Structure 1
Amino acid sequence: MREALRALEFLGLIETRRGEGTYIKEVGNHQLINLLGMFILQDERAKEDLAETKRLIEQLCLQLACQRWTEQELAQLEKSVRQKTISYELFFKWVTVASQNYLLERIWRVLHNFSQTIYDEDAFPDEFYEQMLKAFAKRDVAAVAKIWETYTQHRLSKER
């Protein structure tokens, strides 16, 4: 049992606090993601499935975030877009939090970490974020979906 706990701690899944006990660590960018990614994502079909699943989760999170964001969350997004400090990863961290679905947030984080082991980070032009901000401010789910579809289709056609 002790060896198993040491192995889990080495992988960054748990942490042992002297005198307090053993705790599960928050899912983040730890060694297990890279280790599992090397084995799971060896065939091309698995890579395609990962990309598709990630896009579907992102699409769902966008819908929920558009309906559920708070004033504080929208102000945070607006600040990042206006200051041009926004990136794909920061945008979707905002989206997953604003979706107010903790499970989807965690699933996206794991999928994103997996995909980073095999793909370069996705990037969208500034106008994508500006258009999304306007659509979010109006809570226009259809516009958010259309913007997402336009930019992801454009990006996918460039990859082929």
Structure 2
Amino acid sequence: MNEVVSSQTESKVYLEIVKQLRQIISKEKLKPGDKLPSERELSERLNVGRSSVREALRALELLGLIETRRGEGTFIRDFRGNQLVQLLSTFILEDEKAKKDVLETKYLIEMDCLKLAIDRYSSSAMIDLKEEVVLGQSVDDENFFYSIAVLADNHLLMRIWLILNDYFKALEIKHCEKEKDLYLNIIASIESGNKKKALIHYQNLRNLSNS
């Protein structure tokens, strides 16, 4: 029992560190190639142990979002400049079937992330996400599902979603702004632990068939 509690606590610490690192990057307007604060500085600024900071940085490095250069420090990678994405996007833009495949796969990954987010539920993280939705003038769909992918806590799914999201943006598909209630319904279903409702609300958001 103690091991389970310990694991959940460590997961919450990890998610909080990742979230605060994103805030630091955004607030300080750090760009690809810029250096992140040292482990010691981050530990002091975030008031967490250096081992926890190290684990969060390692996870972000596995995702390809940062890179560590021996003797120099940790730097933000230009993951959105992925050459493979740029190359394949040239063909995707000319192939209607490939466009549909990108959308379908992106949606499947997001639904898997929703189910994992329910399994690995973090009340504090959901409170923060709900506040972002409620207080914002509109909902940033990309940021919303990035947060869901973080909550899913699966590095491979996150990496796949990031690449698919780059493909999606390369397609330049016009999409209408959706009502906040559609996102709040998804959050409510995660909070209640109801996977079936979460998927139904997701399908409503994406205008997919529930059958």
> How far, CA to CA, are the matches of 1:16 and 1:136 in structure 2?
35
Higher relative contact order (CA 8 A, sep 6+): 1
1:101 alignment partner AA: N
Corresponding residue SS for 2:173: coil
1:38 lines up with 2:90 in the alignment = yes
Does 122-131 or 146-155 show the bigger shift? 146-155
User: Which residue does 1:72 correspond to in 2?
Assistant: 124
Cα distance, 1:82 vs. partner? 1.6
SS at match of 1:120: coil
Q: Note the C-alpha offset of 1:153.
A: 2.6
Q: Is the 8 A contact 2:183 2:205 kept in 1?
A: no
Is this contact kept in 1: 2:120–2:152, CA < 8 A? Answer: yes
CA drift of 1:127 comes to 1.1
Partners of 1:27 and 1:106 within 8 A in 2: no
Render the CA deviation track for 1:122-147: whole Å, top value 9, x for unaligned. 54321111211211221211110111
Q: 1:134 to 1:44 in 2, by over 3 A?
A: same
Q: Do structure 1's residue 97 and structure 2's residue 150 form an aligned pair?
A: yes
Q: Which amino acid aligns with 1:92?
A: F
Structure 2 partner of 1:81: 133
Q: What is the percentage of aligned positions where both structures have the same residue?
A: 28
2:165 to 112, 115, 140: 112
Name 2:23's counterpart in structure 1.
none
Are positions 1:133 and 2:187 aligned together?
yes
TM-score, structure 1 length as denominator?
0.74
Q: Which amino acid aligns with 1:35?
A: L
Q: State the alpha-carbon separation in 1 of the partners of residues 86 and 174 from structure 2.
A: 15
Query: Which residue in 2 is equivalent to 1:48?
Result: 100
1:152 and 2:206 equivalent? yes
Q: Is the 8 A contact 1:27 1:110 kept in 2?
A: no
Q: Residues 107 and 130 (structure 1 numbering): CA distance in 2 closer, same or farther, change over 3 Å?
A: same
CA distance in structure 1 between the aligned counterparts of 2:119 and 2:68, rounded to whole angstroms: 40
Report how far residue 25 of structure 1 moved.
7.0
Tell me whether 31-40 or 56-65 shows the greater mean CA deviation: 31-40
CA-based RMSD: 3.1
Q: Which consecutive unaligned segments of at least 5 residues does structure 2 have?
A: 1-64
Query: What corresponds to 2:80 in structure 1?
Result: 29
Distance 2:144 2:68 in 1: 33
Q: Summarize deviations over 1:75-130 as a string: whole Å, max 9, x none.
A: 21111112125311011011100111111011001000111011336543211112
